[in-house]
Structure 1
Amino acid sequence: MKLGDGARGAIVAAALLAASATVAGCDGGSGGTSHAASSTRTPVSASHTATRRATAPTASAAGPTGSTHTLAELAQHPCLAVTEADGGVDKLYIAIEGRETTMKGDPTSCQWGAVGGLVSFTPYTSTDLTEDARFRDLTHKTVSGHRARVGTYQRDDSAFMVVDVGAGHSFRLIVASFGAGAPKGPGTVGLAVEFAEAIVSHLR
């Protein structure tokens, strides 16, 4: 389902803040429902600021590439959600390594630049966003056996996905397209699904 004007400000603001934080970390290195899709709180406004942590742990630093983490651990270091093995050219094809960012009032997120778009991952350790009334009209989907909701923003096809991972836990993915001139990928929804599957595969 397409996300309409009611959600676009929140999603675009979150995506732009994520993009600015990611680009800042690289040396020169981007009408349907009325849900406020950026968080479980009030919609993100332009006045909120994103800050990048100086060093974000990588999966290789935390252990083997096949290592697993709880959602609570990912809430502390969200960039551990995918591994170096996930990011290869035959998989997620991550071209810009993960950077942790914090938007005022939101949990810590991680943003990666992949072929197909900028991907922002945010874990929620005490909220099942798939049961949030604001997202009830989004398309119902299953990701590796987990309940999910997905929508796109009609103007630029940015994607928004929430995935239930049990016990009142969930995570959010926002995928913002890099634009027509960028290398093509699986599409923003496809990229969200691929990241969601990778993240779920490492959860314990």
Structure 2
Amino acid sequence: MATEFRDRRHREERKHRLNREIMAPEVRLSGPENEPLGIVSLMEALRMAGELDVDLVEIVATANPPVCRLMDYGKFKYQEQKKAADAKAKQTVIEIKEIKFRPGTDEGDYNIKMRNIRRFLSEGDKCKITLRFRGREITHQDLGMALLQRIRDELVDQIVVEQFPKLEGRQMIMMIAPAKRKAAAKPAAEVPAQPAAAPRQPVTVPQTASST
């Protein structure tokens, strides 16, 4: 059988029992194309696997009898791993980028940090804006709040504020995330032109002859 003599050290890594590892006296069997073959004895299922040079794989061990399938387990495992890798590749990983400011951050440094924030947001990442106070700077929290409000105001069309400025110890923290892009507005449906009204025909009223 295809897997009968594989290294037994890998048995613990597998999710399924194969071939003679299956303990049930009979199984509900399906073929290589997943076609149902009914309930057969374990020995009969193993004989069929040998004739087809495939594995007997226990798919649902908790069923009564267990559900098994005839397949090339190596190929099956490869396909499962490929599906998992493809699904992982499609997942969007959102990172939290921390950008640190000081109440006295100069304008040049401020502009560099803002460019970085905009880049992180455009890549779909969240940003943790940390403003740290040193020494007596903690007595001027209003300067820190004003700086965080400036950052928020400059990014107002690009962000959602997930956590408004909050003092934690000797630092203020604000969490922002990229704003969801609005779907493009659909063009207004054109109102079909109404057909021109037909000209009204004059109505002639017959006159009755006057009696003499």
Q: Same fold (TM over 0.5)?
A: no
Structure having the higher Rg: 2
The answer to which structure, 1 or 2, has the higher relative contact order (CA under 8 A, 6+ apart) is 1
TM-score by length of 2: 0.19
TM-score by length of 1: 0.19
